Every structure is written in C-alpha cells, then in structure tokens.
C-alpha cells in the first residue's frame, strides 16, 4: 500500500482542486533525477542537483576516481527517489496548500475514491437558497384569518 498525502489550496474549499502526492520510492527519479525534478517543477532542488553532479564529476576527473564520483551521483539519485515526494509536499505547503488527508491505497484511483467518498455534503449558503415562501409564512401570525 502506498501513502497518499492530499493537499488542497488554502484559499478554496473546492475538493476538485485537491492534489494527491504518492509518498513512495520513485524509480523514475532514481534513473533520471534531474528530469524528474524538472517535471515536478522543483527548481531549487534541480539547480542543487545539477551543481552537485557537476562538482562530483569535476572532482572525479581531477582525482582520477570516476567510479567513486559516479557512485556519489547514483547516491544523489537515490536521495531524489526517496525524498522527492516529500520535497513536492513541502513546495505545495510553501505555496499555501494545506494537508487535508493522508490515505493508504494501492493506486491513485483508489485513493481518490476514498477521499471523495468521505467528504461531507456541501453546505449551501442561506443566501443561495430561495426562502421567500418561508419568510412570507413566518410573517403571518397564527391569529390571522385565512382569506381575510
């Protein structure tokens, strides 16, 4: 089972604007860390990864230890694969999103079904309901003679 963190924008109560982040190991982030970071718009992490890979490659060439440098780059990819989802959650929180649920499900579809089936029924504001007939009835007293 995968842990899904559901984040909704802080300025809206619309459930359809919820973002589901699967908090699990990302194989694609291990194989292509920079691309994965860029796709998820983690700009600062992308820049840090790019600089770190450049520095490790340069250090490996200068010392002649390219194998050690490549292992260090692989370790960076492992860090992205493990921590990337947490970085996405942190980015969304900085943008004003708030955590509305944490679910455990086998797939994204199952997590969405769990989340949307447990939402309370929307509360319709009183101003949106036509209560004019109720106001007219309340204005009449019990002592009023019908038809008068």
User: Is residue 64 situated within a structural domain?
Assistant: yes
CA 148/CA 136 separation, integer angstroms: 15
**Size (the chain), residues:** 148
Report the pLDDT value the prediction gives residue 47, as an integer from 0 to 100. 97
Report the pLDDT value the prediction gives residue 6, as an integer from 0 to 100. 94
Domain span at residue 7 reads: 2-121
CA 109/CA 96 separation, integer angstroms: 25
- Rounded to 5°, the CA angle 11-36-115 comes to 40
User: Is residue 140 situated within a structural domain?
Assistant: no
Eight-state DSSP code of residue 54:
H
User: Is residue 143 situated within a structural domain?
Assistant: no
Among residues 68, 67, 85, which one has the least CA distance to residue 30? 85
User: Is residue 130 situated within a structural domain?
Assistant: no
Task: Quick: pLDDT tens for 33-74.
Answer: 999 999 999 999 999 999 999 999 999 999 999 999 999 999
User: Is residue 104 situated within a structural domain?
Assistant: yes
CA 30/CA 89 separation, integer angstroms: 18
| pTM over the 0.85 mark | no
CA 43/CA 29 separation, integer angstroms: 15
Give whole-number Cα distances, 89 to 21, 46, 96, 115, 133, in Å.
7, 16, 11, 17, 49
Domain count, the chain: 1
User: Is residue 27 situated within a structural domain?
Assistant: yes
User: Is residue 68 situated within a structural domain?
Assistant: yes
Least confident interval from 16-25, 26-35, 119-128:
119-128
User: Is residue 134 situated within a structural domain?
Assistant: no
Task: Quick: pLDDT tens for 81-116.
Answer: 999 999 999 999 999 999 989 999 999 999 999 998
- Rounded to 5°, the CA angle 82-72-41 comes to 45
């Amino acid at each position: 089972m995968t842990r899904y963190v559901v984040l909704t924008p802080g300025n809206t109560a619309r459930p359809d604007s919820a973002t589901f982040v699967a908090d699990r190991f990302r194989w694609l982030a291990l194989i292509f860390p920079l691309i994965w970071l860029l796709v998820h718009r983690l700009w600062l992490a992308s820049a840090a990864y790019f600089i770190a890979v450049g520095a490790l490659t340069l250090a490996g060439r200068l010392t002649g230890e390219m194998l050690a440098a490549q292992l260090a780059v692989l370790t960076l990819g492992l860090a992205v694969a493990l921590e990337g989802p947490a970085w996405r959650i942190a980015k969304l929180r900085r943008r004003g999103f708030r955590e509305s649920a944490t679910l455990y499900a086998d797939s994204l579809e199952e997590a969405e079904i769990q989340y949307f089936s447990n939402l309370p029924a929307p509360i319709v504001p009183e101003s949106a309901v036509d209560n004019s007939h109720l106001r007219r009835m309340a204005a009449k007293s019990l002592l009023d003679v019908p038809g008068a």
